[in-house]
């Protein structure tokens, strides 16, 4: 059974700076502690980009970026974990009064989707903080 969950985290960093850290794959391990590295067909987010994320130094999680809109600061990707596909959508919004809001919507198998948002919330706090 598949489910979907969305989390949103606000912080003081400006949307352009937050987006820059999303768009540059070499920065992912800086703001997302579980990510040890990224191997990909390019260095920046773009539709069609493929590769794998190295999680906790051991687990390689293959991914494909499905769409990416740098102007709107939104991107979607699919990852493959244990033979299951997980869909994720990230967006960076301007926050009223300054700063930004990073949102993540994740859809996939119930155990992954129910557990992932808390881990993602920690990473998003670092990203927008």
In 3D, which of 125, 83, 80, 81 has the Cα closest to residue 104?
125
Instruction: For residue 77, give its domain range.
Output: 2-128
Assign 3-class secondary structure to the chain.
CEEEEEEEEEECCCHHHHHHHHHEHHHHHHHCCCEEEEEECCCECCCCCEEEEEECCCEEEEEEEEEEECCCCEEEEEEEECCEEEEEEEEEEECCCCCEEEEEEEEEEHHHHHHHHHHHHHHHHHHHC
Domain count, the chain: 1
Residue 129 — very low, low, confident or very high, per pLDDT cuts 50/70/90? very high
The reported pLDDT for the residue numbered 82 is: 84
Give residue 56's pLDDT: 87
The distance from CA 125 to its chain's CA centroid, rounded to whole angstroms, is 12
The tens digit of pLDDT for each residue in 35-92 reads: 999 999 999 999 999 999 999 888 999 999 999 999 999 999 999 988 899 999 999 9
Q: How confident is the model at residue 1 (pLDDT cuts 50, 70, 90)?
A: confident
Which residues sit opposite 64 in a β-bridge? 50, 78
The model's pLDDT over 89-121, given as tens digits with 9 standing for 90+, comes to: 999 999 999 999 999 999 999 888 888 888 899
Q: State the CATH number of the domain containing residue 87.
A: 3.30.530.20
- The pLDDT assigned to 43 comes to 97
Q: What is the pTM of this model?
A: 0.93
């Amino acid at each position: 059974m598949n489910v979907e969950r969305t989390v949103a985290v606000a912080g003081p960093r400006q949307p352009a700076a937050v987006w820059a850290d999303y768009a540059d794959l070499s920065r992912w391990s800086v703001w997302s502690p579980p990510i040890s590295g990224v191997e990909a067909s390019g260095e920046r987010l773009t539709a069609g980009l493929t590769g794998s994320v190295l999680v906790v130094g051991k687990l390689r999680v293959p991914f494909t970026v499905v769409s990416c809109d740098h102007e709107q600061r939104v991107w979607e990707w699919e990852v493959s974990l244990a033979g299951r596909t997980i869909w994720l959508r990230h967006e960076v919004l301007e926050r009223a009064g300054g700063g930004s809001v990073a949102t993540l919507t994740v859809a996939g198998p119930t155990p992954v989707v129910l557990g992932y948002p808390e881990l993602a919330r920690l990473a998003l706090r670092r990203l927008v903080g």
